[in-house]
Structure 1
Amino acid sequence: MIRKIPIGQLLPGMYVVDLHKHWLEHNIWQRRFMIRDEAHVQKLVYEGIEEVSIDLGRGIDVPPPPPPPERSSTEFERKFLSLAERFAPGPRQVSLGEERRRAARLLSDAGSMLNELMIAAQIGREVDAARLEPLIGKMLESIRRNPDALVPLARLKTRDAYAADHAVATAGLIIALGLQQGLPDPEIEKLAIGTMLKDIGQAALDETLITKPGMLSQAEYSTVKSHVEEGLAVLEATSRLSETSVAVVLEHHERYNGCGYPYRMAGDEISAAGRMAAIVDTYDAMTSDRPYRQAMSPALVLRQLFEQGGTQFDPTLVSAFVRTVGVYPVGTLVLLESGHLAVVDELHQDNLLSPLVRVIYHAGRQQYVTPVEVDLSRKVGNHYGKIVRAENYERWGLSPLRWQPA
């Protein structure tokens, strides 16, 4: 089906079949093409294109208008909801509590195995990437059953095992993003293997560089950047990796505007796998405690990623990622209109701004309250109001480990 729309409704993922302008009046040489990103849309605007026809059989349709908000939204929320509304959530297959118990054991096993592979790389032995495949298959099954279990648990790390924990967490995130994008399981598994192994090259670096609390010198930073190609050299010598997995290892530090490393690739020069890996790697690193800075709240990191869509990151994939983890991810501390602090326990995929939360603290009185579960999406029985903003646990002297959903 062909639909004619004004240029203002054109979105990445739409397939253009007619520009409705004589070919001598613009510099677009292709007659039919997929819209790649927002920059592609702006190029058409610059060329004076005012309306286009799109093929609904080969690309997405104009998304339906979002329902009117029940409260004033931030600019971030408005932009996110308008871009991501078309992504349909999948149903939960088991309870959150049951899946969290399974996920905790699975994450422990994955971390242990990855530590073994990192030690093997450090002492020059074979890195058998195939050992990860059964674990990644189980992670995929877990996230499919209930994505609010494994991914939030994986965000909790220990200082002694950050490298392995980070690798496992980013694998969980890229699996969730791959499922959200509708990718086939074999492709998602290749993405996850690459994400698990993307920092294996750090085994060849001086550990003091990786854990240095202060700013790196230019020479030190150049050395750290070498971990990408060092890792690929180790893996190529000892493992058979798919093209997708190799792309993740090589490109997870590339940036959409060409300012990344090691090859300063830009836009569609970076594979979809590399663009996805860049988002999950940055998100997990920024929401984790590091020697040189404290962790940032997931909601704040998502806001920064969203604002950097089109510059640092692929804007379409950023919108999809926000939809994957939620505007207020599970485990986030939030301030409610009542003045209470609450922890996000579970998301409503059809109402991401009103999750199920556990009220634990009164910010005004600065004292704990008897924990109570509140469904913010309910209009009756909710005496706490809506979410005002995300908060940091450290600001209020609260332990994120103690109050994570369990």
Structure 2
Amino acid sequence: MTDLVRIAPGALTIGRPLPWTVYDTDGNVLLRQGYVIQTNSQLEQLFERGRFKPRKIERPQEEVFEDNRERNPFADYPDLLQALETTLNAITEGDPSAQKRLLGLARMVERTCTESPEATLALVHLYSIGPVIYEQILFYAILCQFVGRQFGLEEKRISVLTAAALTANLALVPIADKLNASNTILNEEQRGVIRRHPHRSIQALRDAGIDNKLLLTIIAQHHEQADGSGYPKGLSGTEIRPEAEILALAERYVAMITKRAYRNRMNIAQARKLIANLADGKFRPAIPKALLQVLGEYPPGVLVRLENNEVGVVTKRPVRARGPFVKAIFGPRGNRYTGTFERDTSLLEFNIRALEEPEIMPSMDFSLVWGFRS
């Protein structure tokens, strides 16, 4: 297969699901998307022998591009990350295409969320153990899409909010991964960089010819807090745009469920409890409530143990009186199923008993688990 390319060092990490299927030089499948690399020797072999097939990405255009492909967020995930990196680089470099790229990328995220909502929300939880900065930014945009709609924002404001989520941390991109990997207390210089990043991100957007007033306001205010304790201006109450609060909450939630060098990640129950507490002064109450409604008690992508002792992954949030729905991947005795079996957790024998909190996510072919065609 001539369209296969070598895997770059650093693209794969032990303990994280593969973002794409890996082939050998003859085009034979070595490991499927969703497989979790377990050892250093596996990793070295993949760098030596492995190849992957990059998908051609249409350059985002200002006019609507009619793409009738079925949305598969798991197949689209590497493309979205690549498009995000390209877009942020274009903004930083003042490329004339920056605004078109940003608008196109925001539409890509919107389409993925609206056409495959359960699988898209699952991305945030399946890849949240140790995401790089581009993944975190993509998660912010995904959550803003869902929470913005639940909160009742009109479509135009959701589109601008999505663009803000994709660019608000532009100034932190060069240092974010290093900060997350550090277990030392931030020094004054690092704290200064963090506090100045909204202004620097705004300046980069303006220099690239992107001057949407609402977009820049959301970025400027996304670290303000309703009780006046935020920065840079110490705004409070209704002085802060709801879009800015939605973005701030998306960032907080991703931080909660993400493992850092200096602390462990929270499970979904712990995160939900903390989000509920944020309604008391830090945010207008309707925004944490909207996020909790979006997530449900068990959002797609989390692992759970059922009453019959099976372990599975949540694939769909509750529908009316049924669900959430789970695809069982391990049997009651811990044996790995060759396929998956859908369980309606509203049935007594399949009630959810507990959350499972693996340090390494079990290998799964995500596309097949969610029922997408390979």
TM-score, normalising length from structure 1? Answer: 0.64
**Where do 1:4-403 residues align within 5 Å?**
102-120=72-90, 128-157=98-127, 162-203=132-173, 208-209=178-179, 211-351=181-321, 354-361=323-330, 367-370=334-337, 371-378=340-347, 382-384=348-350, 386-394=351-359, 398-399=360-361, 402=364
In the alignment, what sits opposite 2:27?
A: none
The 3 A distance-change label for structure 1 pair 368 and 103 is: same
CA displacement 1:248-293 (0-9 Å, x = unmatched):
2112222232222222222222111111111111112222233433
Distance 1:305 1:402 in 2: 29
Give percent identity, aligned residues only: 23
3-state SS of paired residue (2:183): coil
Offset at residue 195 of structure 1 (A): 0.6
Distance 1:206 1:140 in 2: 25
Contact 1:209 1:224 in 2 (8 A): no
3-state SS of paired residue (2:118): helix
Q: Which amino acid aligns with 2:228?
A: G
Contact 1:155 1:169 in 2 (8 A): no
CA displacement 1:302-355 (0-9 Å, x = unmatched):
221112212333221111111112221101122334444332121124358x41
Contact 1:210 1:224 in 2 (8 A): no
Q: Which amino acid aligns with 1:391?
A: E
Contact 2:315 2:327 in 1 (8 A): yes
The 3 A distance-change label for structure 1 pair 160 and 341 is: closer
The 3 A distance-change label for structure 1 pair 142 and 227 is: same
**Larger Rg belongs to:** 1
The 3 A distance-change label for structure 1 pair 203 and 320 is: closer
Contact 2:171 2:198 in 1 (8 A): yes
The 3 A distance-change label for structure 1 pair 314 and 351 is: farther
Offset at residue 237 of structure 1 (A): 2.0
Aligned residues, how many?
298
Contact 1:111 1:168 in 2 (8 A): yes
Contact 1:297 1:332 in 2 (8 A): no
Distance 1:126 1:208 in 2: 30
Contact 1:360 1:369 in 2 (8 A): yes
Contact 2:307 2:349 in 1 (8 A): no
3-state SS of paired residue (1:226): helix
Unaligned runs of 5+ in 2: 1-68
The 3 A distance-change label for structure 1 pair 248 and 157 is: farther
Contact 1:333 1:392 in 2 (8 A): yes
CA displacement 1:342-389 (0-9 Å, x = unmatched):
32121124358x4111234478x6x335353210124xxx523x2234
Q: Which amino acid aligns with 1:388?
A: R
Distance 1:230 1:105 in 2: 33
Question: Relative contact order, CA 8 A, sep 6+: which one is greater?
Answer: 2
Contact 2:161 2:215 in 1 (8 A): yes
Offset at residue 163 of structure 1 (A): 1.7
Distance 2:246 2:328 in 1: 34
Offset at residue 218 of structure 1 (A): 4.2
Distance 2:295 2:146 in 1: 8
Offset at residue 232 of structure 1 (A): 1.2
The 3 A distance-change label for structure 1 pair 207 and 387 is: closer
Unaligned runs of 5+ in 1: 1-97
CA RMSD of aligned residues (A): 3.1
Contact 2:122 2:315 in 1 (8 A): no
